[in-house]
Amino acid sequence: MDERFTKGLATRKQVLGEMPVAQRVASAQGELNADLQKYLTEFAWGDIWSRGQLSLRDRSLATISMLAAQNRPTELKTHIEGALNNGVTMEEVAEVFLHAAVYCGFPAAMTCMRLAKEVAAARQGAAG
């Protein structure tokens, strides 16, 4: 593994959690998306998420905002989880999506809120 991948993998695990990342990377071995996972880890996580100009918390807030605007529910759920791991509160997540209603529309905001509730419920179930 090269330095970019190693750095990116460490950041990715810090944000999203050890197990979810290990599962994604392991499931990509020998698959069609192995190269995509490698490039994602190197570029997005090793080059961009690892920069010091924004905190991981700030990057998470920006990311869930952008994913809300793009209507990317699968990635949004993943990054809501990451935002919570980075110290963002569920109230702050909800505030981002309330703000998104103005710029992305109410249907998008309602979908985002539903996904946030699903993540919160899953975390409650895992904790209890």
Residues 66 and 12 both lie in one domain: no
Residues 47 and 85 both lie in one domain: no
Burial 89-100 (b: 16+ CB within 10 A, else e): eeebbbebbeeb
Query: Are 79 and 64 a contacting pair, CB within 8 Å?
Result: yes
Structural domains of the chain, count: 2
Question: For the chain, give me the number of helices (H) and strands (E)?
Answer: 7, 0
CATH label of the domain that carries residue 69 = 1.20.1290.10
Asked whether the whole model's pTM tops 0.95, one would answer: no
Domain that holds residue 119: 52-128
Residues 62 and 108 both lie in one domain: yes
Task: Choose among 6, 7, 14, 12: nearest CA to 24.
Answer: 12
pLDDT along the chain (128 residues), means of 10: 91 93 78 84 96 97 97 95 97 97 96 97 84
From residue 77, give the alpha-carbon distance in Å to each of 6, 51, 81, 113.
Answer: 24, 23, 6, 10
